């Protein structure tokens, strides 16, 4: 079967290559760039996808039932999980130790608590959708984080997401994207809030409005299909709640470094910037000020944070140098510090640093 697919792939490739000069000559009326592949990449990508072959396996590899997964190019994510060496375990121990140092420093500056939400990669939650050659070790990075989380800094979200799969019929991650959808982000946020309430029992949590109105909608063009040039040919959809999409939190948005108001906005989704953005919501359920450091897995969680906390300062992990975080803690004086990180990035960047 695999040999047939390879033969079919080679046939498509050779035929496409033979026809390419004529196609470019017809399109451009010029002999320049006769072998420019821009025009045929989507068709070539789609035909390869139909045969179960990725034209860019280092960025996207094909799973089962139409599920796509992030390849090894980004953060060496596949290789990191195929084996967990003693060196890997020592590195995780160092990351956990650094988190402990940050926690103690934050507390010394008047912060009430420090929490890290550790979100699983998609292939950790939907491992049965990965191809047969993907084999996870008995001890995974997530399980090792959980087993060695001796100061209750980390909230490892894998268990919550696996349990949610038994509850919801809709997926928690996009099939064609490397991120969770808003339902997955909600499950992660709920687990985070339940943990936070154990530290701060007075915190209020609106659990029901989102869960009572979950639905799927729209057409999602995933990053993984973009890598294969087939985003226009493969369908996917958003999953959220009318509580979030129809009545999102309305907040004042402030460029914190320049102390400039960017106006009043309703927020359903927000990519974080490398410079801090401050959101103020006078109608929030809780009065705490939160400094929130996150990667792209925080973007779908933004409306939940804004609904629950009066002020949220968020900054992308790429902008979260020790110097910047130190300055923000001194100038902003947050009550809580929270980070949200996906599994593949949990051993890199800010998490490898220690307080100044």
pLDDT digits (tens, 9 = 90+) for 42-52: 777 888 888 88
- Range 303-330 average pLDDT: 97
Give the pLDDT of residue 349.
79
Question: What average pLDDT does the segment 170-176 reach?
Answer: 97
pLDDT(94) > 70: yes
Cα separation, 146 vs 168, in Å, equals 25
Q: In this structure, are residues 57 and 78 in contact, taking their beta carbons and an 8 Å threshold?
A: no
Any bridge partners for residue 68, and if so which? 62
Torsion angle of C-alpha atoms 275, 280, 286, 290, degrees rounded to 10: 10
The torsion defined by the Cα of 198, 204, 209 and 210, in degrees rounded to 10, comes to -50
Higher pLDDT, 85 or 218: 218
Question: How many residues would you count in the chain?
Answer: 356
Q: Which of 127-141, 219-233, 332-346 has the lowest mean pLDDT?
A: 127-141
pLDDT at 9: 58
Which of 57-71, 72-86, 275-289 is least confident? 72-86
- For the whole model, what pTM was predicted? 0.89
- CB-CB contact of 170 with 290 (8 Å): no
Over residues 301-324, mean pLDDT: 96
Mean pLDDT over 137-142 rounds to 80
Average pLDDT taken over every residue of the chain: 89
Q: Is 74 exposed, middle or buried (0-12, 13-18, 19+ CB in 10 A)?
A: middle
Runs of H (alpha helix) within 109-233: 122-125, 141-147, 158-167, 182-199, 208-211, 223-227
Instruction: Give the range among 52-56, 155-159, 164-168 with minimum mean pLDDT.
Output: 52-56
Euclidean distance between CA atoms 291 and 312, whole angstroms: 6
Tell me: the pLDDT tens digits for 17-50? 665 565 555 555 555 554 555 566 777 788 888 8
Higher pLDDT, 274 or 35: 274
Backbone angles phi, psi at 137, to 5 degrees: -70, 165
Nearest to 140 by CA among 82, 214, 222: 82
When mean pLDDT is compared across 132-146, 304-318, 321-335, the lowest value belongs to 132-146
């Amino acid at each position: 079967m695999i040999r047939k697919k390879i033969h079919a792939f080679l046939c498509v490739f050779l035929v496409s290559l033979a026809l390419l000069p004529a196609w470019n000559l017809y399109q451009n009326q010029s002999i320049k760039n006769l072998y420019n592949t821009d025009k045929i990449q989507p068709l070539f990508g789609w035909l390869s996808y139909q045969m179960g072959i990725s034209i860019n396996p280092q960025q996207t590899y094909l799973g089962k039932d139409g599920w796509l997964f992030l390849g090894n190019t980004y953060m060496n994510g596949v290789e990191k999980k195929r084996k967990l060496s003693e060196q890997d375990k020592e590195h995780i121990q160092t990351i956990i130790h650094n988190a402990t140092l940050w926690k103690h420093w934050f507390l010394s500056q008047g912060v009430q608590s420090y929490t890290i939400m550790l979100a699983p990669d998609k292939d950790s939650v939907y491992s049965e959708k990965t191809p047969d050659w993907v084999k996870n070790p008995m001890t995974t990075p997530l399980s090792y984080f959980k087993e060695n989380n001796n100061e209750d800094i980390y909230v490892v979200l894998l268990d919550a997401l696996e349990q949610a799969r038994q509850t919801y019929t809709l997926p928690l991650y996009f099939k064609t994207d490397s991120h969770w959808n808003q339902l997955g982000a909600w499950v992660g946020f709920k687990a985070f809030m339940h943990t936070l309430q154990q530290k701060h029992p007075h915190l209020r949590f609106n659990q029901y409005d989102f869960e009572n109105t979950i639905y799927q909608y729209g057409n999602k063009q995933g990053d993984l299909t973009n890598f294969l040039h087939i985003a226009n040919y493969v369908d996917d959809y958003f999953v959220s709640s009318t509580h979030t999409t129809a009545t999102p939190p309305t907040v004042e948005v402030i460029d914190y470094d320049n102390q400039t108001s960017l106006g009043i906005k309703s927020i359903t989704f927000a990519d974080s910037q490398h410079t801090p953005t401050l959101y103020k919501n006078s109608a929030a359920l809780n009065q705490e000020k939160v400094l929130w450091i996150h990667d792209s897995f925080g973007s779908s969680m933004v409306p939940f944070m804004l609904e629950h906390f009066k002020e949220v300062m968020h900054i992308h992990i790429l902008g979260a140098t020790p110097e910047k975080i130190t300055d923000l803690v001194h100038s902003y004086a947050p009550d809580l510090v929270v980070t949200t990180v996906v599994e593949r990035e949990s051993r890199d960047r800010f998490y490898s640093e220690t307080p100044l």
